[in-house]
């Protein structure tokens, strides 16, 4: 497996130091599976100021559609042939159709009654239970033989910098026959890799990362945790690959608990950098995709300027789909390893 990087260097004259020459390294990394490129640069420290949460949250509960009785009055219901009871419920969590659907079988699942849960307040049991709740939905849909029951996806946008329009913690849960871009590219490339190398890319990746120990964080049960070689996020990404699991329906309760445990560790470490927001996506094959292994990607999100609300995604990412990461994934690994 090739971890290819193109090293670059910028020379500037620094007016703060009598125009002394300063050399700043950067790198372009090539994702070993898809060939996607990611830029690593060094123009700021991995440290962000958190906002005044009280001011941010103030008043949002009064109109929150997931709070109190509203979650059972204003949220929509599934048609009777799909989910006869309309919405799914488990403990204080509720799952209902997404009012802003981007596919035909989209749902939203709340994490429960609490309106605001800081990243560091999530317990592994809570996350595992929410994932298992989403799996209940997937199994119900799968049992109906629905044509969209192909890929079963969970996405998590936590807090506004990550794209959440609500404070109330929730998951986006959907079934689709149309794999999203990056997942489709991974699926196609994994299939080619297996045909070419007669081995699974994902197993080879775990073995390589474990051996080099530059980006490997550790294993929890069947899940292997590492910082991504070519990250999408400005503060790196954390990747967890589950051994022997091709798809979301292959994950057992212990896997869900192990994934939740790892996420809690990662959240705790990113919190120390001032991060309070993230995206987390499931990447899954179909149940027959022997070339694929289930993995999740955790990507911290932030504002470049908190006061102005400047997002961490600008023109280079939005229109070129070229990513910028503010530190070497190996350095991020050292920061995160303290909690692993
Ligand atoms: Zn709420």
Per-residue confidence band for 21, with pLDDT thresholds at 50, 70 and 90: very high
Kindly tell me if the per-residue pLDDT of 6 is higher than 80: yes
Structure tokens at 293: 């292994």
Q: Above pLDDT 90, what percent of the chain?
A: 94
Look at residue 307 in the predicted model and tell me its pLDDT.
84
Rounded to the nearest whole angstrom, what is the distance from the C-alpha of residue 132 to the centroid of ligand 1? 21
Kindly tell me if the per-residue pLDDT of 330 is higher than 90: yes
Kindly tell me if the per-residue pLDDT of 165 is higher than 90: yes
Average per-residue pLDDT for the chain: 96
What's the pLDDT tens digit per position in 100-137? 999 999 999 999 999 999 999 999 999 999 999 999 99
Q: How many CB atoms lie within 10 A of CB 107?
A: 24
Rounded to the nearest whole angstrom, what is the distance from the C-alpha of residue 50 to the centroid of ligand 1? 21
Q: Residue 311 — φ and ψ, nearest 5°?
A: -70, 160
Rounded to the nearest whole angstrom, what is the distance from the C-alpha of residue 152 to the centroid of ligand 1? 26
Cα separation, 238 vs 257, in Å, equals 17
Q: Which residue has the tokens 């959440």?
A: 164
Per-residue confidence band for 181, with pLDDT thresholds at 50, 70 and 90: very high
Per-residue confidence band for 304, with pLDDT thresholds at 50, 70 and 90: confident
* pTM score: 0.97
Look at residue 81 in the predicted model and tell me its pLDDT.
93
- The mean pLDDT of 292-316, rounded to a whole number, is 94
Structure tokens at 179: 């794999």
Look at residue 305 in the predicted model and tell me its pLDDT.
86
Rounded to the nearest whole angstrom, what is the distance from the C-alpha of residue 9 to the centroid of ligand 1? 48
What's the pLDDT tens digit per position in 42-96? 877 889 989 999 999 999 999 999 999 999 999 999 999 999 999 999 999 999 9
- The mean pLDDT of 178-188, rounded to a whole number, is 98
Rounded to the nearest whole angstrom, what is the distance from the C-alpha of residue 25 to the centroid of ligand 1? 45
- Pick 258 or 340 by higher pLDDT: 258
Look at residue 28 in the predicted model and tell me its pLDDT.
98
Q: Where are the domains of the chain?
A: 4-40, 54-337
Q: Report the candidate in 2, 31, 302 with the shortest Cα–Cα distance to residue 186.
A: 31
Q: Residue 222 — φ and ψ, nearest 5°?
A: -90, 0
**Which residues is 273 bridged to in the sheet?**
none
Contact (CB, 8 A) for 223 and 264: no
Rounded to the nearest whole angstrom, what is the distance from the C-alpha of residue 68 to the centroid of ligand 1? 8
Rounded to the nearest whole angstrom, what is the distance from the C-alpha of residue 310 to the centroid of ligand 1? 25
Look at residue 45 in the predicted model and tell me its pLDDT.
83
Look at residue 306 in the predicted model and tell me its pLDDT.
83
According to CATH, the superfamily of the domain at 54-337 is HIT-like (3.30.428.10)
Rounded to the nearest whole angstrom, what is the distance from the C-alpha of residue 176 to the centroid of ligand 1? 28
Rounded to the nearest whole angstrom, what is the distance from the C-alpha of residue 54 to the centroid of ligand 1? 14
Rounded to the nearest whole angstrom, what is the distance from the C-alpha of residue 172 to the centroid of ligand 1? 16
Q: Above pLDDT 70, what percent of the chain?
A: 100
Rounded to the nearest whole angstrom, what is the distance from the C-alpha of residue 113 to the centroid of ligand 1? 7
Rounded to the nearest whole angstrom, what is the distance from the C-alpha of residue 160 to the centroid of ligand 1? 14
What's the pLDDT tens digit per position in 202-248? 999 999 999 999 999 999 999 999 999 999 999 999 999 999 999 99
Cα separation, 301 vs 181, in Å, equals 20
Look at residue 251 in the predicted model and tell me its pLDDT.
98
- The mean pLDDT of 249-267, rounded to a whole number, is 98
Q: Report the candidate in 167, 164, 338 with the shortest Cα–Cα distance to residue 266.
A: 338
**Which residues is 28 bridged to in the sheet?**
6, 39
């Amino acid at each position: 497996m090739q971890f290819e990087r193109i090293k670059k260097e910028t020379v500037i004259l620094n007016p703060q130091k009598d125009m002394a020459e300063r050399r700043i390294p950067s790198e372009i990394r090539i994702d070993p599976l898809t060939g996607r490129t990611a830029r690593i640069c060094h123009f700021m420290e991995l440290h962000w100021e958190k906002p005044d949460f009280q001011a941010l949250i103030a008043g949002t509960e009064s109109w929150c559609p997931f709070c109190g009785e509203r979650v059972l009055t204003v949220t929509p219901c599934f048609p009777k042939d799909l989910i006869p009871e309309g919405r799914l419920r488990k403990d204080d969590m509720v799952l209902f159709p997404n009012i802003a659907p981007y596919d035909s079988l989209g749902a939203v699942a709340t994490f429960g009654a609490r309106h605001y849960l800081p990243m560091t307040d999530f317990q592994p049991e809570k996350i595992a239970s929410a994932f298992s709740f989403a799996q209940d939905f997937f199994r119900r849909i799968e049992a109906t033989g629905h044509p969209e029951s192909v890929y079963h996806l969970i996405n998590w946008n936590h807090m506004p910098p990550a794209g959440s329009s609500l404070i109330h913690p929730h998951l986006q849960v959907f079934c689709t026959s149309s794999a999203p871009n990056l997942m489709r590219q991974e699926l196609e490339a994994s299939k080619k890799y297996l045909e070419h190398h007669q081995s699974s890319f994902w197993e080879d990746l775990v073995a390589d990362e474990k051996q080099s120990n530059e980006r490997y964080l550790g294993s929890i049960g069947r899940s292997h945790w590492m910082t991504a070689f070519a990250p999408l996020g400005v503060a790196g990404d954390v990747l967890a690959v589950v051994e022997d699991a091709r798809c979301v329906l292959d994950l057992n309760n212990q896997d869900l608990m192990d994934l939740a445990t790892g996420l809690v560790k990662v959240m705790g470490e990113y919190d120390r950098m001032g991060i309070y927001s993230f995206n987390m996506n499931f990447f899954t094959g179909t149940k027959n995709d022997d070339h694929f292994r289930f993995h999740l990607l955790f990507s911290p999100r932030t504002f470049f300027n908190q006061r102005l609300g400047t997002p961490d995604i600008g023109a280079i990412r939005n229109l070129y789909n070229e990513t910028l990461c503010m530190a070497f994934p190996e350095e991020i690994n050292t920061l995160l390893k303290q909690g692993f």
